[in-house]
Amino acid sequence: MAKVILTVDDSASVRQMVHFTLCDAGYTVVQAVDGQDALTKLTGSIDLIITDLNMPNMDGIGLIRSVRSNPAYKGLPIVMLTTESQAERKQEGKAAGATGWMVKPFTTQQILAVVKKVLG
């Protein structure tokens, strides 16, 4: 069974890049445009969430907190996307329960490396 990855970003181009990269590598990808959207799509078996931090409606931090407060997804790996200027946000994300992070800009190889790292 292919692993299912939920990618959350308000930027369609980033979502698309992540989507294609992961699909090419054989993962199943579900897309969400913001935290709220992601929560509605967080059903059944999701193996990993990759989320942006700055998003309308519900940002990445809020999403991570909500996911962690759901017993069913307590140990779900979550990778957040940050930029180099967001050191505090990264700390905030880690405190909220993010598993790891990726610094934007990133390459397709980097996505795969990080996914492999947390998903095996």
Partner 1 sequence: MDKYKQAFLEEAGETLCELEAALLELDQNREDREVVGRAFRALHTIKGSGAMFGFDDIAAFTHNLESAFDHLRTGQLAVSADLISLALAAGDQIKTMLDEAAGVGAADHSRAMGILAELRDLTGEEVRYHPVPGPVVPETAPSGPQGVWRIHFRPASDVLLNGTNPLLLLRELGQLGRIQITVDVGGIPPLSELDAERCYLGWDIVLTTPSGLEAIRDVFIFIEDNCELSIEPVFEPAAPSATQAVQPKENPPPAPVAGASNIRVSAEKLDQLINLVGELVTVQARMSELAARRDDPEIQAVAEEIERLAAGLRDNSISVRMLPLKNTFERFRRLVHDLSIELHKDVELRIEGADTELDKTVIDQLNDPLVHLIRNSMDHGIETPDARRAAGKPPTAKIRLAAIHSGANVLIRISDDGRGLDAEAVRTRAIERGLIDAAARLSEAEVFSLIFTPGFSTARTITGVSGRGVGMDVVRRNVEALHGSIEISSQPGVGLTVSLRLPLTLAIIDGLLIRVGQAHFVLPLANSLECVELTSADVREAHGNHIAKVRGEIIPYIRLSEYFQMDNAPPEREQIMVVETDQGRYGFVVDEVLGDHQTVIKNLGKLYRNVQAVSGATILGNGTVALILDPHRLVQHALSTVSKGKPLAARGGRHSKSNGNTQSKGTTSYGTQRK
Residues in touch with partner 1 (CB under 8 A): 2-4, 10-14, 16-17, 19-20, 23, 25-33, 41, 54-56, 68, 74-78, 81, 83-85, 94, 97-101, 104-110, 113, 116-120
Q: Least distance to partner 1 from the beta carbon of 85, Å?
A: 7
Q: Least distance to partner 1 from the beta carbon of 104, Å?
A: 5
Token couple for 43: 């059903």
Closest CA to 101 of 68, 44, 41, 61: 61
Q: 62 or 106: whose CB is closer to partner 1?
A: 106
Upper half-sphere CA count for residue 96 (Cβ side, 13 Å): 23
Q: 29 or 63: whose CB is closer to partner 1?
A: 29
Q: Least distance to partner 1 from the beta carbon of 26, Å?
A: 4
10 in helix, strand or coil? Answer: coil
Cβ atoms of 46 and 20 within 8 Å: the answer is: no
Q: Provide the residue type at 6 as one letter.
A: L
